[in-house]
Amino acid sequence: DPDFLANRGLGNEVGIYLFCYDPALELEARDLFAHLVRESEMGQLPCRLIERNLYDLIWSICEERRIDGAVARMEQRRGTQALIDQLRKTVSAEAVASAMAYEPHEPGDVVLVTGVGETYPLLRAHVLLDNIQHLFADVPLVVAYPGRYDGQSLCLFAGAAQRGLEDGNYYRAFNLV
């Protein structure tokens, strides 16, 4: 839709869309997103998909700061929660947001955020969205979200067979489907 690609028609809200899916379909969802990115790269879509996988971004931040080799050792010695607490100091939502940014945004760009479930609980979706909305005000942002969004709150890993985890309130997004 031309209005979607131009990020228009949302009552002056930033175009943040959630593509919610049942987490039991994670592998199928990954295949779908990879297929869409390939189609975009081959010029078969009316847009240019810019995929930002949160897990890959976090790992690249760890590599850049040269702590990637210590991650497994720290978890083994001090436990998962201690690792998460330490990583949050280095791999903050602000750092991930900066790693997601790119310039220039071109007409027809659509940013596809994947890896939300893979990065929980280190990175919470609502905190990330608060930190990236100003970076992508002129292009639509689609977040592949393994769970549910009711227009007010996010429920990670919620599906047909799971209740999910409350992931926080967020009011500025729209359900894509």
Buried b (16+ CB within 10 A) or exposed e, 111-142: bbbbbbbbbbebbbbbbbbbbbbebbeebbbb
pLDDT of residue 10: 60
What would the pLDDT profile of 151-165 be if each residue is shown by its tens digit?
Answer: 888 889 988 777 877
Residue among 176, 170, 158, 166 at smallest CA distance from 25: 158
pLDDT of residue 28: 97
Residue among 60, 141, 48, 58 at smallest CA distance from 92: 58
pLDDT of residue 46: 92
User: Which residue did the predictor score with more confidence, 23 or 69?
Assistant: 23
Residue 54 near residue 115 (C-beta atoms within 8 A): yes
pLDDT of residue 173: 79
Residue 167 pLDDT > 90, yes or no? no
Residue 9 pLDDT > 80, yes or no? no
Q: In the chain, at which residue ranges do the beta strands (DSSP E only) sit?
A: 16-21, 48-53, 109-114, 141-149, 153-156, 165-169, 173-175
Mean pLDDT value of segment 161-173: 75
In angstroms, the CA 173 to CA 113 distance is: 13
Residue 122 near residue 167 (C-beta atoms within 8 A): no
Residue 25 pLDDT > 70, yes or no? yes
Task: Count Cβ atoms below 10 Å from residue 96 Cβ, excluding itself.
Answer: 22
Question: What stretches of 115-161 show up as alpha helix (H) in DSSP?
Answer: 125-132
User: Which residue did the predictor score with more confidence, 171 or 119?
Assistant: 119
pLDDT of residue 158: 87
User: Three-class SS of residue 65?
Assistant: coil
What would the pLDDT profile of 45-64 be if each residue is shown by its tens digit?
Answer: 999 999 999 999 999 999 99
What would the pLDDT profile of 90-136 be if each residue is shown by its tens digit?
Answer: 899 999 999 999 999 999 999 999 999 999 999 998 889 889 988 98
